[in-house]
Amino acid sequence: MTTPTAVNSLPYRNGRFANDWVAAGGAEQSRYFMGLLVEALPRWLCDEIRHERLRVCDWGCAEGDGTGWLAQALGWDVTGVDFSELAVAHARQRHPETPFLCENWLEHAPREAFDVVVSSNTFEHFDCPWEAFKVVAEQAKRYVLLLVPYREYQRHVEHAATFDDASIMLAPSASWALLQSRVIDAAHRTPSYWQGEQVLLWYARVELLVQRGFSLADVQAHPAAAAERGDAALRALVRREEALVHQSREQQRRIAALLADNREQGLALAATRERLDAVLASTSWRVTEPLRAAGGLRLRALRRWHDVGTAYRRGGAREVAARVAAVLTRRLRAVARALLRRLVPAEPLVSAPGAPSWPLAPARAGFVDVYLFGVIDWNFRVQRPQHLARELARRGHRVFYLTNHFHDDAAAGCDVEALDVELPLYQVRLKVDGAPPIYFDAPSDAARRQIDAALRRFAARASDERAICLVQHPFWARSACALQPACLVYDCIDDHEGFGKVGRKLVDLEHWIMRRADLVVATSTLLAQRAGRHNRHVALVRNAGQYEHFARPPAQRFADPAGRRIVGYYGAIAEWFDVDLVRRVAVDLPEVLVLLVGSDTVGACAALRDLPNVQCVGEVPYVELGHYLHAFDVCLLPFKVTPLTLATNPVKVYEYLAAGRPVVGVALPEMSQFGDLVRTAAEPAGFVAELRAALAEAPDHATDHAAGQPAPAARRQAFAAGQTWAHRADELLAAIAAAAKPRVSVVVLTYGNLALTRECLASVDACREGIDLEMIVVDNASTDGTPEFLRAWAAERRDVRLILNDANLGFAAGNNAGLAAASGDYLVILNNDTVVTPWWAWKLVGHLRNEASLGLVGPLTNRIGNEARVDTHYRGLAQMPAEAERITAPNCGRWFEMRAAAFFCVMMPRSTFERCGPLCEDYGLGMFEDDDYCRRVQREGLRVGCAEDVFVHHEHSVAFNALGDARKRALFEGNRKLYESKWGPWVPHQHRELAPQRAQRTAAGTRR
């Protein structure tokens, strides 16, 4: 093979042909460009490739993300080819189900040829692209499909060629002719990775055109063109194309002459461009650069000078100036609206090196953030996760969608992708070493540490408040809990055990999160019943349909060339799909076409290949489902009856009904909610009988006069209109708002120091977030006006118990009186010389709920004699909350074990109190009762911990200091002897550890 010199100049970086969207980098861009290519293809060509089993090559596949997407989305036999060994190695690792070859076609002939060669965004890098085309095209038997930038006059520095009407070859060689070209405006896609236009160039071998006798309908890529192929010969078509191209070139020359001859128009254009340049150089334009980078504005959209030339031809300079001015006005208005809608942070939030920095919209007041821990990637098949996320974002919540497709990277971090220009909706992709799948086993300890670190860093910078965590797969359970959410919701969408190959640890993790969750949401009655065994707070929030998307018939529908009636199914063709039932339908109803749309992972289509009235389409994009759905005369739900399907609430039934189509399904429990709107059967013969009856149903526009009911289609659509994802989002938010809060009883013991008591109680009053709080204040016979203040204070509040002792009972006895009166599920002992911080009690509760072995937990503080002390620099309580946030925010969900907690602030679950009993009152006024209680907790097999995400200010030993040094020393020595008589030698408390020591302890695994 002869290789042109220019071919060897192709830049290459990071295992991929280098261009500007690679710098923005990632799998999303590869899938994005491949999606543009597929969207521009005629449907009949996709069907030809699939049905004739043509072999397709993705040339220049890099790491195979576009290749894998193409194979999965269209069901094609696709092989990726790239000359980089590193890129191919990565592709094989990332997409093991797709074949990849390491070959350099530009230097050596490949081992085999393909029927179709596809190449996306590669040929613009060649100085002589058509010479490279001749080399590559030799390896294609039928078609070459190229996607390249269109009219890129201000080329990227690494692009060597521009493709426009003058440079695109009609016949690059004697063997190849341009069959179709289609221009795609990529600038206004959401999200967009190209700020301009792309063009699809579809070349076919000339001999194939002659043999096939293509018609004009074919080359226009009409969706129903497969049924309209005529008798027009290739030569007439080629002559017509040549004449059109010649005419187009003559027209371009005339436009150029007009522009050159009309000096006045040229000056007007120059003036307009000066105005445009002034705007682009202005401060306001520079300030709004992040908005344009995120997809709001497209610079190249303002510089489509081809449209300007057309305006010259039609109306002259005045129309040109008016058109450009109108565009500028619209764009600048969009800038103003965008600036009012969202403020851009001063620095990027979280991104990988070299990846785009996606600014986050600020959280709206009154709308808590939602972290949705997904079961699928956002760009996979559109299902419940994406619908709920979008609806929650529409209601004003910032939604962070955690995808299960991890970056294979050993460093903790994540990428953030804006999913919608108008909505606060983002996909967060975490870095996890090895990128483990989530479906089969619980995360390893190393993976969980890496996930938790990335989430902790993201949450600390993204939000100042607790969020809602909506978990849709048990793999995420522990990591979601570590975020200390305001509400933890487990969305039980499937019987995960029913999928098979699910590890026992993952099943146990699901049971754990069902018990731990503040609310369990179930999609079916059976799942709700199972969840009720673990949690009494269960809400039934079924699946739904996107009514507007499916109710309106598309402009073009699938058509059977043989004119048969169609019974159809779309969705995953997986282990729950009943192949035998579909075979029975096809055999008993040979006059109908059985149309199956979806990714086949179990070989069902191969098993049905012998039946002439069964057609498999493969996976299609969500936006194209209506093209097939509205062609179905009857919709099918041919599921096996298994533990998985018995718990399934099928989304597709809502979508079928939204289109008004008759539905026949297997008799599953969740089908009963549809009543007579859906026909069901328990065995194959009945299924076929119901299918015959559905086919005989009256036309959609008819009315059942005998029953006085509206047409069946209208009844089905009326039902579906009330079962939308908007309804489900409202149901979910209502269930979250009604979720029970943990009952926390806070016991505050007072003895003098009224000013400190005021500050303490005021801080507890102000920090009730997320909990049902009960205050129990016990006074040990204060003489400084404290009892009078407490009576007035308690009279103004609910959920307050006031206990006024006649004598100083001491620390243990005073707190025991309060604990005995407490009604909460969690009990707190809090000194009156403390000031708490936001979410303190909620986060302490979270630690106790997350770790069953934790019997007692306290916070970090500024003054104490053990490890809970941290260095602080605030001066006065006004500065304390900000510094407390700085200390605790990076440690969300973290705690460490210690020998003894100081009882200035501790929380225990009621179960600990019931097992260990009240504080020992033998210690009199106080000292050592906290050590004593910690020994009792540990004797029960429980642990004592310190929460690193909670800070409580402490004045420290104010009451004891009033005793004087001599009396305090005597009390200390006497109580130490009492303690040692029960527990052995007392181990003095450790002072605050230095950072390196704490890091060593973390590495040793003692921190949780």
Quickly list DSSP for 503-563.
-HHHHHHHHHHHHH-SEEEESSHHHHHHHTTT-S-EEE----B-HHHHHSPPSS----TT-
Lookup: tokens for 699: 């036309």
Q: Give the pLDDT confidence of 356-404 residue by residue, as tens digits.
A: 344 688 888 889 999 999 999 998 888 999 999 999 999 999 999 999 9
* Whether pLDDT at 445 is above 90: yes
Say how many C-beta atoms besides its own lie within 10 A of residue 654's C-beta. Answer: 22
Please tell me the distance from the alpha carbon of residue 117 to that of residue 61, in angstroms, as a whole number: 11
Contact 87, 15 (CB under 8 A): yes
Lookup: tokens for 985: 């030698």
Name the more confident of 463 and 97. Answer: 97
Residue with tokens 């808590």: 368
On average, the pLDDT of the chain sits at 82
Contact 802, 791 (CB under 8 A): yes
Name the more confident of 997 and 267. Answer: 267
Mean of pLDDT values over 442-460: 93
Please tell me the distance from the alpha carbon of residue 36 to that of residue 40, in angstroms, as a whole number: 6
Please tell me the distance from the alpha carbon of residue 789 to that of residue 757, in angstroms, as a whole number: 10
Handedness of CA 173, 175, 181, 184 (dihedral sign): negative
- 3-state secondary structure at position 943: strand
CA angle 855–859–860, rounded 5-degree value:
140
pLDDT at 675: 94
Beta strands in 688-794 (DSSP E): 743-750, 772-780
* Whether pLDDT at 448 is above 90: yes
Mean of pLDDT values over 478-499: 88
Residue with tokens 């005529």: 230
pLDDT at 968: 74
Say how many C-beta atoms besides its own lie within 10 A of residue 923's C-beta. Answer: 23
Please tell me the distance from the alpha carbon of residue 946 to that of residue 85, in angstroms, as a whole number: 51
- Per-residue confidence at 349, pLDDT binned at 50, 70, 90? very low
- Which backbone phi and psi does 830 adopt, to 5 degrees? -130, 120
* Whether pLDDT at 702 is above 50: no
- Per-residue confidence at 355, pLDDT binned at 50, 70, 90? very low
pLDDT at 264: 53
CA angle 469–471–476, rounded 5-degree value:
105
Q: Give the pLDDT confidence of 801-847 residue by residue, as tens digits.
A: 999 999 999 999 999 999 999 999 999 999 999 999 999 999 999 99
**Which secondary structure element, helix H or strand E, spans residue 895, and what is its range?**
strand 895-897
Q: Give the pLDDT confidence of 844-886 residue by residue, as tens digits.
A: 999 999 999 999 999 999 999 899 999 999 999 999 999 999 9
Contact 579, 603 (CB under 8 A): no
Say how many C-beta atoms besides its own lie within 10 A of residue 966's C-beta. Answer: 8
Please tell me the distance from the alpha carbon of residue 101 to that of residue 221, in angstroms, as a whole number: 31
User: Taking each helix axis from N to C terminus, what angle separates 305-315 and 317-341, rounded to the nearest 10 degrees?
Assistant: 140
Task: Quote the distance between the C-alpha of residue 645 and its chain's center.
Answer: 25
Lookup: tokens for 1: 């093979």
pLDDT at 499: 59
pLDDT at 9: 33
* Whether pLDDT at 785 is above 50: yes
* Whether pLDDT at 627 is above 60: yes
Estimate the share of the chain in helix, then strand, then coil, as percent rounded to the nearest 5: 45, 20, 40
Please tell me the distance from the alpha carbon of residue 123 to that of residue 18, in angstroms, as a whole number: 11
Mean of pLDDT values over 145-153: 90
- Which backbone phi and psi does 199 adopt, to 5 degrees? -130, 135
Please tell me the distance from the alpha carbon of residue 940 to that of residue 555, in angstroms, as a whole number: 71
- Per-residue confidence at 336, pLDDT binned at 50, 70, 90? very low
Please tell me the distance from the alpha carbon of residue 992 to that of residue 999, in angstroms, as a whole number: 13
Mean of pLDDT values over 619-633: 92
Mean of pLDDT values over 997-1007: 36
Q: What is the DSSP letter of 190?
A: S
Burial of residue 805 (number of CB atoms within 10 Å: 0-12, 13-18, 19+):
middle
- Percent with pLDDT over 90 in the chain: 54
Please tell me the distance from the alpha carbon of residue 312 to that of residue 319, in angstroms, as a whole number: 7
- 3-state secondary structure at position 413: coil
pLDDT at 266: 53
- Helix segments in 895-943, DSSP class H: 910-916, 929-939
Q: What is the DSSP letter of 471?
A: E
Q: Give the pLDDT confidence of 27-77 residue by residue, as tens digits.
A: 778 888 888 888 888 877 887 888 788 999 999 998 888 898 888 777 788
pLDDT at 686: 96
Lookup: tokens for 629: 């759905």
Candidate from 162-171, 447-456, 586-595, 802-811 with smallest mean pLDDT: 162-171
* Whether pLDDT at 908 is above 50: yes
- 3-state secondary structure at position 455: helix
pLDDT at 393: 96
CA dihedral 678, 684, 686, 688 (to 10 degrees): 70
- Per-residue confidence at 18, pLDDT binned at 50, 70, 90? very low
Mean of pLDDT values over 187-209: 84
Contact 717, 551 (CB under 8 A): yes
Mean of pLDDT values over 136-148: 93
pLDDT at 280: 58
* Whether pLDDT at 789 is above 90: yes
- Per-residue confidence at 247, pLDDT binned at 50, 70, 90? low
The reply to whether omega before 485 is within 30° of 0 (cis) is no
pLDDT at 313: 41
- Per-residue confidence at 463, pLDDT binned at 50, 70, 90? confident
Give residue 472's identity as a one-letter amino acid code: Q
Mean of pLDDT values over 622-630: 92
pLDDT at 333: 47
Residue with tokens 């760009």: 379
* Whether pLDDT at 773 is above 90: yes
* Whether pLDDT at 501 is above 90: no
pLDDT at 366: 85
Contact 834, 955 (CB under 8 A): yes
pLDDT at 152: 87
- 3-state secondary structure at position 945: strand
